[in-house]
Amino acid sequence: MKLRNRNRFTTNLGERYLQLSQTRYPAEVAIPWKRQILVVANVTAGSQTLLDALSERAASEPTSIHLIVPATPSREGRAAAKETLEDAVAQLRSAGLEADGAIGPADPLTATIEAWDPKLFDEIVVSTLPMRFSKWLHAGLPERIARLTGAPVTHVVSEPPAPPLHAEPAPTRKESDVLMGPLSVLTWGSASRRRTVHDRDAETPPAPPKSTA
């Protein structure tokens, strides 16, 4: 009788322990994984080349983008960087990408180091102008970022944006030009030609008389 009660007590204790373990440690919920990319760009932040590169990456795996735009400390510099950032983030989101961003210090290396966190990001994308235009490339920015962070660094080269076209109004025509018809132009041209021929004939010296010897 005592042995039976002891077995019942052991069974109840095991069931109770199982219930507590399930209560304290519920089953883990799978969290969707996303590749977190830190992008550093300024003039090329809104370039089609950068957009295509990030869109291609997002097409192969879930991707989240954090854009850093370096800004000079002046009021005009920060205002320009803010406009560049907002336009670029809006362009990325319009393409269906998950993106946000922030303004960083003027030095792109400092801006990248301050934003980089290996617990938050998987890689860094540096977008620059071609070598003939880019101060960042002349300073070896992609290589320096890779050396100081130890992160995978992808370099995207974009052409500078085309300058906006300015439409100028057509020149106003004078009333005399409007009244001047094609016959007047022909007449003026004929008169000019007559004057030219006359002047040429007047400037030609007469031929000397033939010798009779």
HSE toward the beta carbon, residue 127, CA cutoff 13 A: 26
Helices (H), 65-181: 75-94, 108-115, 135-138, 141-149, 175-179
Distance CA 84, CA 126 (A): 16
Distance CA 18, CA 14 (A): 6
* Residue whose token pair is 């393409």: 95
Q: Extract the tokens encoding 151.
A: 């992160």
Q: What pLDDT score was predicted for residue 176?
A: 54
DSSP labels, 157-195:
E-PPPPPPP---PPPPPPHHHHH--HHHHHHHHHHHHHH
| Higher-scoring residue by pLDDT: 125, 170 | 125
Give 117's pLDDT tier (boundaries 50, 70, 90): very high
Burial of 2 from C-beta contacts in 10 A (0-12 / 13-18 / 19+):
exposed
| Higher-scoring residue by pLDDT: 17, 74 | 74
| Higher-scoring residue by pLDDT: 40, 73 | 40
Number of residues assigned to the chain: 213
Kindly report, residue by residue over 165-183, the tens digit of the pLDDT. Answer: 655 666 666 555 555 555 4
pTM of the predicted model over 0.75: no
Give 201's pLDDT tier (boundaries 50, 70, 90): very low
* Residue whose token pair is 């983030």: 89
Give 17's pLDDT tier (boundaries 50, 70, 90): low
Q: What are phi and psi of 69, to 5 degrees?
A: -115, 110
SS3 (DSSP) at 100: strand
Domain range list for the chain? 35-157
CATH topology classification for 35-157: Rossmann fold (3.40.50)
